[in-house]
Amino acid sequence: MLIDPSLPSHYEMMLQIAQKLREWSPAIFIGYNTLSFDEPLLRQAFYQTLQPVYLTNTNGNQRADVLRLAQATAALTPNAMAVPISAKGKPTLRLDTLAPANGFAHENAHDALADVEATIYMARLIRDRAPAVWNSLMPLVDKGAVTAALASGAPKCLVEYHMGVPSLRAVVGCGHHPKNPTMQAVFDLRRDPSEVLNLSEYELAEETKGPNRALRTIYANKMPALVDLGLAGDLQGAIGLPEAEVVRRAAVVAADGQFAARVGVVMAQRYPPFEPAQVVEGRMYEGFPSRADEARMQAFHAAGWVERAEIAETIEDDRYRELARRIVFHEQPDALEPERRQMLELWLQNRLQGRDGVEAGRTIGDALIDVEGIVADETNASALHDIQHWLERIGLGQP
């Protein structure tokens, strides 16, 4: 598939995907484990192909995740769906085992269409069998709803998963990162506020670490499983506190505005800005393109290759200018000026072979070592040989 000329290039593929998502917009884009995997991958791909990075959660679009719904269902309404046991003897919510355990014929697990159908199947099952979970979590695709719930001062139940094991926590909002309001702090109400509210900033920073930490971070734009206490069933048994004490502690924390401000300071120290990246791929979050550059990128997509090469040089943001040059180089290198093409040929050689002092992902040498480390058998020997030959040709600069 990598060398099949009848298939679209990466750039052409991303143009098609972006167009399809725009046709569906506004919508809630939902998948299985998409918030942790597919969405970051899609965002990076949009960035590298001059598409709106936040296409799936702006202009009326929102994002949801059936895995989050499944986790909450397993913890809050355990009789609503079957949770299979893995070969290691632990509960698992992997889609390829969860969907069949609940009646879906999933013969082609990890085939793209089959996974989509399995995701739809599980979404409908949860909607129908655990409507309280569905109706509680789906509004949280709106990060404003999450922020409002945490700012209300009312205690909430937070469902979290670690190593396949669910946990229920009673929490209350207690601040946010001063430069990233989607990064919200919650106070674990198993801890007595009197022991925490007056700690120094250093001591508060320590309360962001370890399994029994008082301060936890949730992301308002990632559909956290944050529900009313009444949906939590035996919350008292899970945390060892009666509801009246949970409510009292929440009120104490919520009333302390100075504590929330100090938590913000601690979060800024705990999660400082990223170090400047050495390669353009790592600079996606350095800021939005200007309106003028957005217009230039739209013109780039609509133009022919020679004009695209010219438009690339007019883009003011150095990140997007470099990415535009790379697109032309990969798709139609003859459209570039000879000097520009030579510079990009050197860049590509450095990227493939590695360059001292620059970490930029796996090199050809790394990939060949990985392939050599895979034990060949009768089922994969041919594929391994083809991959090794393909890598060697790329390393030699051959098409």
Report the C-alpha gap between 232 and 66 in whole angstroms: 19
Cα gap 119→127, rounded to integer Å: 12
Q: Tell me how far apart the alpha carbons of residues 69 and 32 are, in angstroms, rounded to a whole number.
A: 9
Tens of pLDDT, residues 189-202 = 999 999 999 999 99
Boundary residue ending a domain (134, 160, 185): 134
pLDDT, tens only, 325-358: 999 999 999 999 999 999 999 999 999 998 877 7
pTM higher than 0.75: yes
CATH number for the domain that contains residue 257: 3.30.1520.20
Q: What is the CA radius of gyration of the chain?
A: 25
Question: In this structure, what token pair is assigned to residue 245?
Answer: 């004490």
Q: How many domains does the chain have?
A: 3
333 is in which domain, residue-wise?
280-395
Instruction: Please report the sign of the dihedral spanned by the C-alpha atoms of residue 22, residue 23, residue 26, residue 30.
Output: negative
261 and 291 together in one domain = no
Cα separation, 249 vs 153, in Å, equals 10
- Of the candidates 68, 67, 83, the one whose C-alpha atom is nearest the C-alpha of residue 225 is 68
**In terms of domains, do 284 and 380 share one?**
yes
Q: Mark whether 128 and 82 lie in a shared domain.
A: yes
Q: What is the band of 378 on the pLDDT scale with cuts at 50, 70, 90?
A: confident
In a domain, 30, yes or no: yes
Give Cα separations from 116 to 39, 56, 133, 266, 295 (angstroms). 15, 17, 21, 41, 34
Same domain (yes/no): 337, 355: yes
Q: Are 80 and 231 in contact (CB under 8 A)?
A: no
pLDDT tens column, 42-88: 999 999 999 999 999 999 999 999 999 999 999 999 899 999 998 88
